């Protein structure tokens, strides 16, 4: 699959304040972006894990460790699914 590179400028003092290398911050930013895009519903859990450089199980574990639900279904979604299933039965 083709890969795109996105560059952003970060002041040196930010890296110093974070006590991170460019590579560490780049990795963290990918992970945090993946989590944010997943929470916003813009990426599936699998694609978000891919962006974070993790397999789906590892990404789900990371979400769970940070108290982030691994399902974005609302109570209304579940109720609608139950209604549909009852009609099928």
CA distances from 86 to 10, 11, 65, 78, 89 (A): 54, 57, 35, 12, 5
Instruction: Provide, rounded to the nearest whole percent, the portion of the chain with pLDDT above 70.
Output: 100
The predicted structure's pLDDT at residue 13: 93
Confidence band for 75, pLDDT divided at 50, 70 and 90: confident
Q: How many residues does the chain have?
A: 89
pLDDT above 90: residue 74: no
Say what the pTM is. 0.77
**Do residues 64 and 71 lie in contact, with contact meaning Cβ atoms separated by under 8 Å?**
no
Q: What is the pLDDT of residues 24-58, one digit of tens each?
A: 999 999 999 999 999 999 999 999 999 999 999 99
Give the H or E element holding residue 28.
Answer: helix 22-39
Q: What values do phi and psi take at 55, rounded to 5?
A: -75, 165
């Amino acid at each position: 699959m083709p890969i795109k590179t996105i560059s952003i400028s970060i002041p040196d003092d930010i890296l110093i304040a974070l006590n991170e290398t460019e590579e560490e911050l780049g990795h963290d930013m990918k992970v945090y972006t993946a989590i944010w895009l997943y929470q916003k519903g813009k990426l599936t859990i699998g694609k978000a894990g891919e962006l974070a450089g993790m397999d789906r199980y590892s990404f789900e574990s990371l979400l769970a460790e940070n108290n982030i639900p691994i399902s974005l279904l609302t109570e209304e979604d579940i109720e609608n699914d139950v209604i549909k299933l009852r009609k099928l039965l």
